[in-house]
A = this chain, B = another copy of it.
Amino acid sequence: MSKLHFASDYQEGAHPAILKRLADTNYDGYPGYGTDPVCGSARERIREACACPGAGVHFLVGGTQTNAAVIGALLKRWQGVIAPDTGHIASHEAGAIEHGGHKVLPLPQTLGKIRADQIRDYCRLLFEDGNRDHMVMPGMVCLAHPTEYGTLYSLEEMTAISRVCREYGLPLYVDGARLAYALACPANDLTLADLARLCDAFYIGGTKCGALFGEALVVPDPSLLPHFFTLIKQEGALLAKGWLLGIQFDELFRDGLYERIGRGAIEAADILRKGFEDLGAELAFDSPTNQVFVRMRNEDLKALEEVTEYSFWEKSGEDHTIIRLASSWATRPEDAGTLIRALSS
Contacts and interface: CB of A to CB of B under 8 A. Distances in A.
Interface of A: 2-3, 5, 7-8, 10-14, 16, 19, 22-23, 25-32, 61-69, 72-73, 76-78, 80, 91-96, 98-99, 101-104, 130-131, 133-137, 207-208, 212-213, 226-227, 229-231, 233-241, 244, 309, 312, 330
Contacts of A208: 240
Given A11-B31, A95-B103, 13 more contacts: A12-B26, A13-B25, A62-B238, A62-B240, A77-B99, A78-B234, A91-B135, A92-B131, A95-B136, A213-B244, A235-B236, A236-B236, A236-B237
27 contacts: A2-B29, A11-B31, A11-B32, A13-B26, A13-B27, A19-B19, A29-B309, A62-B239, A67-B236, A72-B77, A77-B99, A78-B231, A78-B234, A93-B134, A94-B135, A94-B230, A94-B231, A98-B98, A98-B103, A98-B136, A99-B235, A101-B101, A213-B239, A213-B240, A213-B241, A236-B236, A236-B237
A309 to B, nearest CB: 8
From DSSP, what is the main secondary structure of chain A's interface residues?
loop
Q: Which of A73, A99, A312 has the most CB of B within 10 A?
A: A99
